[in-house]
């Protein structure tokens, strides 16, 4: 659940701050990208250098470098909006009170107030401070903001007393965040099959018929679906795309026949089937066993035969509970051709995109699409990076399919 997540870690000035080095390591190991923001007092307990080395990102604690004459400043708004989630650990009684009152007297507080993402907080203080009515009231106030409490634990405290107030251990914090994300994941418990990339049809051992598909859109959909809690089976044609997300199982294929067999087999038990691959419609009838030599006549004749229609086959076999989404890449009469594909192949949605010089289609990092459903819904998604577009496509499917 943390793979690919952008996490802000806010560290305040308590002795438990030393544990944040291990917390950063755990978050990085889980696949997250971590940026650390310190309160001014936190630097007395843990060094920025340690956290920067572990996170592989700069550590922030002030608006600008006072020793620099360049005028460079740290943009608290940009940093707050960057994050997918924020963890405040350890959160002292002092900073908790500032949050409850909406104060902004340091860089960490400004970043917090700028963040629009979910916030998790792990208090750390002495037991009497933790039990004080003002602290209990502030915890309730933070929870009323929608923030998620990771309760303090019992144990030996810095004061020498024994009791409740210790910051939750880093493993507990990571586990609490993952459990919360899993409980809210819109595609949890779903198996989603996605195919992506081109297919190559052999002419001879060194030549093939193919297309310019990169597989970027399909991979973006796979990553987004996994981050939404799904288990993903990705059938991937010849492509440089890859993923280390443990929720994504990649099966690599080359020809349309191989993709047909792998996709139809995987689709039998799938909840959603998203067919974004740019498959070859035809293949050479008799591919040569050896490299074809150039002839004196300057002509090469190839007999082509039709490949299996993966979308049509999946559409005809789909079960009542399954959602089937096809992709259509068109260069002319785009909407009419996409509608025809939707009508004839028994899928629930067609995602139409066009190949042209407008930074969309094959090979680009951006795309814009029109989603059309069998029920007549139309969703126009404007030009944006494919990684962002993937979430928007899934959001529309979730909205309409789970309503």
The catalytic residue positions are 211
Tokens of 370: 């029109």
The SS3 assignment for 239 reads: coil
311 annotated to a ligand binding site = yes
Measured over all CA atoms, what is the biggest interatomic distance in the chain, rounded to whole angstroms? 94
Other beta carbons within 10 angstroms of residue 233's beta carbon come to: 23
Q: How many angstroms from the chain centroid is the CA of residue 387?
A: 8
CA distance 320 to 316: 11
Can you say whether residue 73 is alpha, beta or left, with left for phi > 0 and alpha for psi between -120 and 50 degrees? beta
Strands (E), 39-145: 59-60, 85-91, 119-123
CA distance 14 to 89: 9
327 annotated to a ligand binding site = yes
154 annotated to a ligand binding site = no
| DSSP notation for 147-195 | -EE---EEEE-TTS-EEEEEPPPHHHHHHHHHHHHHHH-TTTT-EEEEE
Annotated binding site: 281, 291, 308-311, 327, 341, 345
Annotated binding site for CTP: 281, 291, 308-311, 327, 341, 345
């Amino acid at each position: 659940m943390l793979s690919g997540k952008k996490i802000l870690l806010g560290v305040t000035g308590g002795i438990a701050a030393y544990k944040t080095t291990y917390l950063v390591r755990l978050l990085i190991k889980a696949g997250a990208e971590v940026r650390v923001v310190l309160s001014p007092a936190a630097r007395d307990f843990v060094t920025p250098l340690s956290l920067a080395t572990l996170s592989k990102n700069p550590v922030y604690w002030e608006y600008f470098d006072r020793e620099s004459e360049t005028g460079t400043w740290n943009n608290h708004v940009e940093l707050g909006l960057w994050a997918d989630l924020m963890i405040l650990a350890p959160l002292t009684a002092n900073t908790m009170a500032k949050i409850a009152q909406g104060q902004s007297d340091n860089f960490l507080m400004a970043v917090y107030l700028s963040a629009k993402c979910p916030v998790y907080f792990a208090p750390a203080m002495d037991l009497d401070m933790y039990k004080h009515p003002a602290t209990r009231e502030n915890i309730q106030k933070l929870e009323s903001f929608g923030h998620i409490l990771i309760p303090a634990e019992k144990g030996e405290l810095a004061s020498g007393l024994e009791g409740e107030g210790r910051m939750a251990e880093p493993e507990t914090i990571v586990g609490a965040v993952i459990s919360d994300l899993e409980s809210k994941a819109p595609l949890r418990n779903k198996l989603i099959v996605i195919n992506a990339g081109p297919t190559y049809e052999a002419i001879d051992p060194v030549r093939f018929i193919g297309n310019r598909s990169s597989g970027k859109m399909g991979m973006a959909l796979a990553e987004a679906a996994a981050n939404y809690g799904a288990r993903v089976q990705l059938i991937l044609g010849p492509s440089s795309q890859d993923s280390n997300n443990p929720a994504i199982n990649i099966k690599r294929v080359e020809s349309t026949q191989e993709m047909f067999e792998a996709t139809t087999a995987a689709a039998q038990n799938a909840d959603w089937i998203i067919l974004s691959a740019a498959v070859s419609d035809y293949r050479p009838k008799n591919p040569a066993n050896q490299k074809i030599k150039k002839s004196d006549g300057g002509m090469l004749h190839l007999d082509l035969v039709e490949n299996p229609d993966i979308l049509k086959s999946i559409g005809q076999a789909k079960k009542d509970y399954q959602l089937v989404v096809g992709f259509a890449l068109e260069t002319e009469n785009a909407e009419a051709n996409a509608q025809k594909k939707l009508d004839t192949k028994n899928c629930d949605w067609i995602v139409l995109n066009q190949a042209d010089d407008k930074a969309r289609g094959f090979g680009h990092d951006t795309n814009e699409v029109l989603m059309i459903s069998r029920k007549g819904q139309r969703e126009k998604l404007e030009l944006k990076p494919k990684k962002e577009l993937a979430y928007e496509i899934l959001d529309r499917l979730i909205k309409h399919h789970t309503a």
